Each structure stands twice: as structure tokens, then as C-alpha cells.
């Protein structure tokens, strides 16, 4: 069933068959089936191989089930708009604030905030399982070990802005907010060579100044969250206490001193919830 869904998604993604067989569009090599059928067959085999590796990793890390494979990313990213009730005055020209990405596929997005816990096991686990995630970082917490997050970046994780000092932004002046947001943009760019397009305000709290400042220093969107993961439970924003296509899941860089478990325990919990409900984890930056 999973492979059937992936096949349909692959066809619908708009990827040219020529690009799968050969970038130049030349005929397929002898023994290979040319055209869309051959391309689709090659893609399905690639997914099967990746899932076989992931199944071994799932047993190694004690997951209840093998995580499902996400479909290929869309040819064009969906249009993101601010969630109803999350608007500010003049918000049409400001970065959108949202908790869910508008998609039809059963995919969700995993995001990890702040940077307090720097567990090497998390890096190994996520690489072994090939689970994509995005990190939203506060400088005062990551500054004790910038190298940990460089390792994360080298493994394909996108690093984004969560302010310098994790302050409650609505209680700050315009100048103070600008320092927290834009100076963190500059620090991340200097340290990691990127100027993040995404920003998450601490505690999910913001006002019009926040969004105007974010736009001024290069931020394109404000992803919040629809659910939050802990080692021992999930917490939900929606009344139905369930996942929905495109939901963003929040968790934190925390360990046993803060939680009833480790970061790998948290991943086991969130992936059991996600997989049991028939969802796969996709990469947020492929859609936003």
C-alpha cells in the first residue's frame, strides 16, 4: 500500500521521466525500461532499498515499527497563508504564521527547538533512520557547543532562527525584538553560512512588530506547531487530538534532567504515534 501511494505521488510530482533515467534525456541503457514506466520502476526499487535499511535501523534503535517513507517532494511548493485567528494588522504583506502545511498526502513535519541538550545519540539515530527534521536554535543555548549543530547541518538538517535569548517577544520594544531576531540571523549566517528563511518565536508569541522585523532581516515564514512531542506523551493543539496532513510537530532539545526520558526516547514516542496513524515524516524545507 505504501509503495502504491509513493508511485502515485511520484507520477503526480511533475518530475520528467528523462531526468530520472538520464539528465540529458538520452535513451535508457540496454536492459533498462525506457520512459515513465522504467523511471517509476527505478524509483520504487530505490524506495524498497531505503526502507530495508530503515527497517534494520528501526530494530537497532528500538522503534515499534519501521517509519514509513515520505513521497517525493512536490515540483512546486504549496502556497502558505496565515492560519485563521493568527493574523495581525497589515499581515497580508508579512511572513505567514501557520501550524499546518496545505498538503493532501499523509505527511507531517518534525521540528526541534532551542538547543539545550546536545545528545550525540540523536545525531546517529536520525541519520540511521533517515528521518528529516528542522532545528530552530537560540544562541544562548547553542553557544556552548556550536560544533554539535554543525554536525547536524552536515547531515542535511536545516538550521533556523529561534532568537538569541529565547525571550517573550511581545513584552519587548521594537528595538529589543530586532536585536533578538535579526542579530540571531547574523550569528547563524556567520557561524553556519546560511541566513535562515524560517523563524519560530519563543513560546509561539508574536505581534505585528515581530513579523515586520522578521521580514526586514530575510525571514519568509513563521512555522508554529499543531502537536508537541515528549518522551512519555503527545500534546495536541487541535480539539480532535489527532494528526492531520501537513501538521508540524514541535519538540525540544531536552534530556533526562528535564524529561522522563532521553531524546531517543522522545523520537521513539513521536515515531510510534506518527507511524501508527499511517503518516510519514517529510522535510519541511521541501514544502515551505
10-38 confidence digits (pLDDT tens): 434 434 333 323 333 444 444 445 677 88
Residue owning grid cell 495536541: 236
Helix 120-129 with 35-60: angle, nearest 10 deg:
140
Q: What is the DSSP letter of 26?
A: P
Given this model, what pLDDT does residue 263 score?
97
Residue owning grid cell 535501523: 57
Q: Is 217 helix (H, G, I), strand (E, B) or coil?
A: coil
Given this model, what pLDDT does residue 153 score?
98
The grid coordinates listed for 24 are: 540529458
The average confidence (pLDDT) of the chain is: 90
As a whole number of Å, the CA-based R_g of the chain is 20
Do 217 and 181 form a contact (C-beta atoms < 8 A)?
yes
For the chain, what's the residue count?
Answer: 288
Do 196 and 153 form a contact (C-beta atoms < 8 A)?
no
Task: Reply yes or no on whether the pLDDT at 224 is more than 80.
Answer: yes
Task: Reply yes or no on whether the pLDDT at 198 is more than 80.
Answer: yes
Do 152 and 126 form a contact (C-beta atoms < 8 A)?
no
Query: Where is pLDDT greater, at 52 or 9?
Result: 52
Q: What is the DSSP letter of 90?
A: T
pTM of the model: 0.87
Given this model, what pLDDT does residue 33 score?
59
The grid coordinates listed for 273 are: 504515534
Q: How large is the average pLDDT for residues 193-204? A: 98
Which residues 6+ apart lie within 8 Å of 27 measured at CB? Answer: 34
Task: Reply yes or no on whether the pLDDT at 194 is more than 60.
Answer: yes
Q: How large is the average pLDDT for residues 179-206? A: 98
Given this model, what pLDDT does residue 34 score?
61
Q: How far apart are CA 115 and CA 102, in angstroms?
A: 28
Given this model, what pLDDT does residue 35 score?
73
Q: How large is the average pLDDT for residues 70-74? A: 95
Instruction: Count the Cβ atoms, other than its own, within 10 Å of residue 14.
Output: 10
Task: Reply yes or no on whether the pLDDT at 84 is more than 70.
Answer: yes
Q: How large is the average pLDDT for residues 210-215? A: 98
Task: Reply yes or no on whether the pLDDT at 47 is more than 90.
Answer: no
Q: How far apart are CA 223 and CA 254, in angstroms?
A: 20
What are the DSSP E strand ranges found in the chain?
97-98, 107-114, 134-137, 158-161, 222-223, 227-229, 234-236, 248-252, 280-282
Burial of residue 223, with CB atoms counted within 10 A of its CB: 0-12 exposed, 13-18 middle, 19 or more buried:
buried
Q: How large is the average pLDDT for residues 237-254? A: 97
Amino acid at each position: 500500500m505504501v509503495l502504491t501511494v509513493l508511485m502515485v505521488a511520484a507520477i503526480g510530482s511533475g518530475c520528467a521521466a528523462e531526468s530520472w533515467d538520464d539528465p540529458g534525456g538520452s535513451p535508457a541503457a540496454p536492459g533498462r525500461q525506457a520512459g515513465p514506466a522504467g523511471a517509476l520502476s527505478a524509483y520504487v526499487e530505490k524506495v524498497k532499498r531505503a526502507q530495508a535499511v530503515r527497517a534494520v535501523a528501526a530494530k537497532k534503535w528500538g522503534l515499534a515499527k519501521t517509519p514509513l517513507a515520505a513521497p517525493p517532494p512536490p515540483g512546486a511548493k504549496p502556497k502558505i497563508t496565515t492560519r485563521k485567528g493568527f493574523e495581525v494588522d497589515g499581515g497580508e504583506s508579512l511572513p505567514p504564521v501557520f501550524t499546518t502545511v496545505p498538503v493532501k498526502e499523509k505527511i507531517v513535519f518534525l521540528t526541534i527547538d532551542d538547543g539545550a541538550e546536545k545528545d550525540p545519540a540523536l545525531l546517529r539515530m536520525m541519520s540511521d533512520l533517515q528521518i528529516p527534521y528542522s532545528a530552530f536554535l537560540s544562541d544562548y543555548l547553542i553557544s556552548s557547543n556550536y560544533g554539535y549543530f554543525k554536525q547536524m547541518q552536515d547531515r542535511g538538517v536545516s538550521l533556523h532562527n529561534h532568537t538569541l535569548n529565547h525571550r517573550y517577544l511581545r513584552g519587548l520594544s521594537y528595538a529589543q525584538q530586532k536585536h533578538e531576531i535579526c542579530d540571531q540571523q547574523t550569528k547563524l549566517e556567520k557561524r553556519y553560512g546560511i541566513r535562515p528563511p524560517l523563524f519560530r518565536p519563543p513560546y509561539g508569541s508574536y505581534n505585528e512588530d515581530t513579523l515586520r522585523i522578521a521580514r526586514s532581516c530575510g525571514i519568509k515564514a513563521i512555522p508554529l506547531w499543531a502537536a508537541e512531542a515528549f518522551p512519555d506523551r503527545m500534546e495536541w493543539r487541535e480539539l480532535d487530538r489527532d494528526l492531520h496532513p501537513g501538521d508540524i510537530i514541535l519538540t525540544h532539545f531536552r534530556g533526562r534532567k528535564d524529561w522522563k526520558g532521553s531524546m531517543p526516547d522522545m523520537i521513539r514516542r513521536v515515531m510510534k504515534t506518527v507511524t501508527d496513524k499511517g503518516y510519514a515524516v517529510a522535510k519541511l524545507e521541501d514544502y515551505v
